[in-house]
A and B are shown apart, each in its own frame.
Chain A
Amino acid sequence: MTLPFHIVKRPYMKTYQQVIVRLLAVLTAFAVTSILMLLLKKNPGKVLMALLYEPVKNGYFLVQTIKLAVVLLIISLGIGLAFKMKFWNIGAEGQIILGGIGASYFGLFHSDWPIYILLPVMLVASFVTGGMYGLIPAYFKARYNTNETLFTLMLNYIALSFLLFLQYGPWKGANAMRPEFDNFKKNALLPSLSSSKPWSDLHIGWILSLVMVAVVYIYMNHTKSGYEISVVGESVNTARYAGMNVRWITLRTMMLSAGICGIAGFVQVSGNLKKLSVNVAGGLGFTAIIIAWLSKLNPVVMIVASFLFSVMSKGAGFLEYQNISPAASEMIQGIILFCVLGAEFFVNYKIVRTNREVAK
């Protein structure tokens, strides 16, 4: 079988061309979405307006969107570290929950501590509990090469059951009518820089997230241990020949990755939700996987991607006013993901005409 064309590897593509290819992919995704909406007799313009414009329309909505973007950004940073090592950590959900539980232990039971002690303790606690939870699959991966994708995934369900157990059992709140966790006292809440509405609702989590972007960026690109992560990711054997301790690198990186996801849990309970709740993770761990991958694991690009996905997630709520299920947002995210993934092909390969004479 000789096709009139064949596929060859493209040696490199200029950065601006790569950006154009990805933008085209996102536009294609919106085009596909519009066609789908037309088929379902919905107005695609209205759907895209709700998804992309409504969440940034005014200060009040914008603050909510930024708060979500902050959490998504932190989770993506964590996931990015593990993905760089080709350790498929899809257990961010569980790690967020555990981080949230760790932070909430101090937030609920030590709320008499002064705020400048309590908040740092909560931060550290969330990092440690989230990180420890990530160490379990990392240990078995490093020691026995146990499949980390499935392991981390199962731990999500286990963490959620544990959270429910706490909610209905030992940590049940004061409200006897409904099994809920208690709201945090003011000491345990992240403060805001501004005191005027709507910006007073924007807690300092955004500063934390930007600091983390800088730290992770420097760690990944300008330190020895950050470099080791990418070597292990490229080839475990190369890392071994170079004398790297692959097991230790795996454990260390996963502790960091899961710990950062744990911190996202802290920001959720102490900043966004103002209490522990079953919704502390609520699918964010999966959205963040998309963000991390679409950003090519680049922490700076993650800022933009997190914001975009936060806008779309918040936009899902506005779809309901038009009698469209908020799940449409999830579907559109899937379509974007496929389009951008497909576009990678044109970055890495090119299609050339087969020269018949040579083929024969």
Chain B
Amino acid sequence: MIIASYIYIAVRVSIPVLLGITGAIFNEKAGNTNLGIEGMMYMGAFAGFYTAVATNSVIMTLIAACLFGAFGALIYAFATVSLRTNQVVAGLSLTIFGQGVARFLGNTLSGGKGESVRIPDAVTQKVSWKIPVLKDIPFLGRALFGYDMIIYLSIVLVVIAYFYINKTRTGLNLRAVGENPAAADAAGINVSLYKYVHICIGGAFCGLAGAYIGVVYLTTWGNNMIAGKGWIAVALVIFASWNPLKAIYGSLLFGITSLIALRFQDSPISPYLLEMLPYLVTVIILVITSVKIKKENQQPASCGVNYFREER
């Protein structure tokens, strides 16, 4: 039974990272390296939190989180696509801005009194509704069917994202924009529109990731809710080789290392050294993937470079 609950914990930790990776993939497929994932997650966390407290509605919460995440992405898209600012700096600005907005507005939730605000029980109960019979199967019940609805929704969204990017016509156009915007432009694809739309979709995924952390996982408002998960997502995009399905492995890897850090705190090794583990593993993955580069698993070629038609 203990293994089942380990799996349960690992999956719950990895879901926001999975959504974050998928959001980052949308950005990079459109040719934009977005370092604002962390910031958009913060924005989503705030919007989700605020809506959950205000409306008690799960659906409204999810929609609000996606919209606010997409709003952050829209600022970034305007800066990089229309105003052609440096993508790295614009992304960093978005992270700083998103964090600031979320913390600032989040602290007004408690009316400046510094009390911790909690998600209402009604929302928590609705979210943690489980499939009646299946959840009672020993082992599988907890490890496979024991999760909240949002986890299944997330996985479905990630699979849809995979098919959208790799198997549809618009997905093909999107990849063309990311690989060679000039060629895509010549073929009649509206490059700016594709970039705007997909950067915003990416932002919505990040917003959802933030809402998951805030509303479902932590359920108490805190200024450091996201704690670098957005950055880990950006790093694991490389491990996932720009494929949402492979992002599932990447995020699980993060979940498992976090689990080790959480569970083995009584061991002779200092818990603070164990806390390094997820980051250390991410670094190692980063190095390994850059040493063993495969031709077909590369970053979209135009990532980091803004497209200006008259500069060809």
- A244 to nearest B CB, angstroms? 22
Instruction: Tell whether A149 is near chain B: CB-to-CB under 8 Å.
Output: yes
- B85 to nearest A CB, angstroms? 4
Contacting pair A153 B270 (CB below 8 A): no
Contacting pair A327 B228 (CB below 8 A): no
Interface centre among A40, A154, A157 (most CB of B within 10 A): A154
Contacting pair A330 B100 (CB below 8 A): yes
Contacting pair B276 A324 (CB below 8 A): no
Q: What residues of B have a CB within 8 angstroms of the CB of A144 in the complex? A: 287, 290-291
Q: What residues of A have a CB within 8 angstroms of the CB of B78 in the complex? A: 342
Q: What residues of B have a CB within 8 angstroms of the CB of A192 in the complex? A: none
Q: B residues near A, CB below 8 A?
A: 35, 75, 78-79, 83-86, 88-90, 92-94, 96-101, 103-104, 106-108, 112, 223, 228, 231-232, 234-235, 238, 270, 272-273, 275-276, 279-280, 282-283, 286-287, 290-291, 308, 310-311
Contacting pair A327 B223 (CB below 8 A): yes
Q: List 10 A-B contacts (CB under 8 A).
A: A9-B311, A90-B92, A146-B286, A158-B276, A325-B112, A328-B100, A334-B94, A334-B96, A334-B100, A342-B85
Q: What residues of A have a CB within 8 angstroms of the CB of B79 in the complex? A: 338, 341-342
Q: Interface residues of A, CB < 8 Å — how many?
A: 50
Complex Cα distance, B82 from A6, in Å, reads: 12
- B33 to nearest A CB, angstroms? 8
Complex Cα distance, B89 from A145, in Å, reads: 20
Complex Cα distance, B99 from A332, in Å, reads: 11
Contacting pair B104 A327 (CB below 8 A): yes
Q: What residues of B have a CB within 8 angstroms of the CB of A155 in the complex? A: 279, 283
Name the prevailing secondary structure of the B interface residues.
helix
Name the residue of chain A whose CB is nearest to the CB of B281: A154
Instruction: Tell whether A151 is near chain B: CB-to-CB under 8 Å.
Output: yes
Stretch at the interface among A56-64, A162-170, A249-257: A162-170
- A133 to nearest B CB, angstroms? 13
Q: What residues of A have a CB within 8 angstroms of the CB of B90 in the complex? A: 338, 341
Complex Cα distance, B287 from A150, in Å, reads: 11
Given A144-B291, A341-B90, A290–B96 Cβ distance below 8 Å?
yes
Contacting pair A325 B83 (CB below 8 A): no
- A92 to nearest B CB, angstroms? 12
